[in-house]
Amino acid sequence: MSMQQADASANTAQDVRGAIVQRDLVVDLIRTACVVLVVIVHVTMVGVGSDASGLRVTSPLQELPWYVAATWIGQVMPLFFVVGGFASAVGWRSTVARGGGPRDWIATRLVRLYRPAVPLFAVLAVGLGIATVLGTPADLLDELAFGIGSPLWFLAAYGITQCCVPLMTRLHATAPWRTLAVLLLLAAAVDGVRLATGVAEVGLLNLGPVWLFAQQLGFLWADGWFARRSKVLLACIAVVAYAVLVPITSVGLWAPDMLQDLNPPMLPLALLAVGQACLVQLVHAPLTRLMHTRPAQAVVFLLGRDGMTIYLWHLPLFILLNGIGLLVGLPFPDPGSRTWWATRVVAVVVLLAATLGVARAVRRFDRPLPRLVPGTDRPAWLILAVAALCTIGPAFAVMQLHLSFPLALLGAVAIPVGTWLLSTTVAAPSPTGAAPGVRTM
């Protein structure tokens, strides 16, 4: 190796180390931990057994006396949207700094979110189609499809919040606290109408206020607001947030089970996001020290790289692995027994290994859009809107109507079309006094 090559290699290594130091690795840790916790929850919520009466599917976790209380800790989706807000704030600033604008942001983020879903919807369409042709009992097929499709709500909710980032960052810059207050009031108003009318579909409107509220907290995190607060103040805010949850979930309006308040999202999740954001900051220093160790970085980077694929594929693979086990005659311990709980560790490890294997096989789908070249921009707003409908629409339909063969087929066709539309570019207008390809806000 020549001296120039050695210097180049050394500079590259320094750049990588510098990027690790400048990046808040706690965000990567939390995001990865949230995905792994979702896998653990689902593995412990689904108990498969068989006896003389046939196949039995139970939910051992929900039968435990402390289950409801545990959801106040185990419901991590509000925190996921908070860390997503942090990442979005950093990413949006980077987009603006290199001359990008709202269309570039939306196209880039939707492609990054939905490309990993393309092979999943294709496999689901083929699988459900074959099962239907083979005459699988409708009740069994519906139950399996419901379980497989249950995590797909996240694609719709997160896609919506990502499309709103350019607007919400502007509101955050001009009136951060007023924006948070308005979102909280809107969430309460939507819940009020839903509870008063008994129309559950009204709650879908809260896909905006609840998750955007959590995202705005992430913007505050990126600004360093939480880091500048004293530990005493953060602890007090967290205590107040959880304390408010106690009465509002005890009067019969909102469920004390935080998983029941998830789809459609309800006001308690916004309060949970406040408490979780404060608690994370309280332990930020030790988590930072942890993330500067090589073993922690290795685990987080291994799982975090394919976090979306792990999230999307873990339930289909879990059901498939259980089905294979039943077919080959593996002994299944009685769900909820001590042996069953002991085997959950093995089940989680095997499932994570399987999802990582799938992630490696479909990794070519998980590639970002190339950066724009000078003088170009993403598609016009009309095309962008059509593409957003093609990508977000199937996931939204699954969230509302539950997974079925027609919806899986819709996703298998519409999402690739949407991501292709998002990847197209057009000539960028050159505002007076601005360089070609530079967007003005």
Q: Where are the domains of the chain?
A: 75-306+366-426
Spatial distance between the Cα atoms of 188 and 326, rounded to a whole number of angstroms: 46
Q: How confident is the model at residue 96 (pLDDT cuts 50, 70, 90)?
A: very high
Residue with tokens 């965000």: 27
Q: How confident is the model at residue 9 (pLDDT cuts 50, 70, 90)?
A: very low
Q: What is the mean pLDDT of residues 39-67?
A: 82
CA distances (Å), origin 211, targets 78, 96, 214, 224, 276? 7, 23, 5, 20, 14
Number of residues that this document lists for the chain = 441
DSSP state of 260: T
What pLDDT digit, counting tens, does each position of 392-428 carry?
999 999 999 999 999 999 999 999 999 999 999 888 7
Choose from 145-149, 247-251, 289-293 the range with maximum mean pLDDT.
289-293
What pLDDT digit, counting tens, does each position of 162-182 carry?
999 999 999 999 999 999 999
DSSP state of 55: E
Asked whether the beta carbons of 62 and 45 are under 8 A apart, the reply is yes
Q: What is the mean pLDDT of residues 204-215?
A: 96
Does 116 sit behind a cis peptide bond, omega within 30 degrees of 0 on the bond before it? no
The alpha carbon dihedral of 376, 380, 381, 386 has a sign of: negative
Q: How confident is the model at residue 4 (pLDDT cuts 50, 70, 90)?
A: very low
Q: How confident is the model at residue 210 (pLDDT cuts 50, 70, 90)?
A: very high
Asked whether the beta carbons of 111 and 366 are under 8 A apart, the reply is no
Spatial distance between the Cα atoms of 394 and 403, rounded to a whole number of angstroms: 10
Range scoring the smallest mean pLDDT among 175-179, 226-230, 372-376, 394-398: 372-376
pLDDT of 288 above 80: yes
Q: What is the mean pLDDT of residues 30-34?
A: 94
pLDDT of 10 above 80: no
pLDDT of 198 above 80: yes
Phi, psi of 46 (to 5 degrees): -110, 115
Q: Looking at residue 99, what is its pLDDT?
A: 87
User: Could you tell me the end-to-end alpha-carbon distance of the chain, in angstroms, rounded to an integer?
Assistant: 48
Spatial distance between the Cα atoms of 305 and 308, rounded to a whole number of angstroms: 8
Spatial distance between the Cα atoms of 394 and 117, rounded to a whole number of angstroms: 11
Q: What is the mean pLDDT of residues 214-222?
A: 97
pLDDT of 6 above 80: no
Q: How confident is the model at residue 439 (pLDDT cuts 50, 70, 90)?
A: very low
CA dihedral of 189, 190, 196, 197, whole degrees rounded to 10:
150
For residue 38, with 0-12 CB atoms within 10 Å meaning exposed, 13-18 middle and 19 or more buried, which class applies?
Answer: buried
- Beta-carbon count within 10 A of 283 CB: 11
Q: Which residue has the higher pLDDT, 7 or 374?
A: 374
What pLDDT digit, counting tens, does each position of 312-361 carry?
999 999 988 988 888 888 888 888 889 999 999 999 999 999 999 999 99
Q: What is the DSSP string of 330-396?
A: ---PPTTSHHHHHHHHHHHHHHHHHHHHHHHHTGGGS-PPPPPPTTEE---HHHHHHHHHHHHHHHH
Q: What does pTM read for this prediction? A: 0.89
Q: How confident is the model at residue 57 (pLDDT cuts 50, 70, 90)?
A: confident
Q: Percentage of residues in the chain with pLDDT exceeding 90?
A: 69
Q: Looking at residue 54, what is its pLDDT?
A: 63
Half-sphere exposure of 174 (CA within 13 A, CB side): 5
H/E element, 106:
helix 102-114
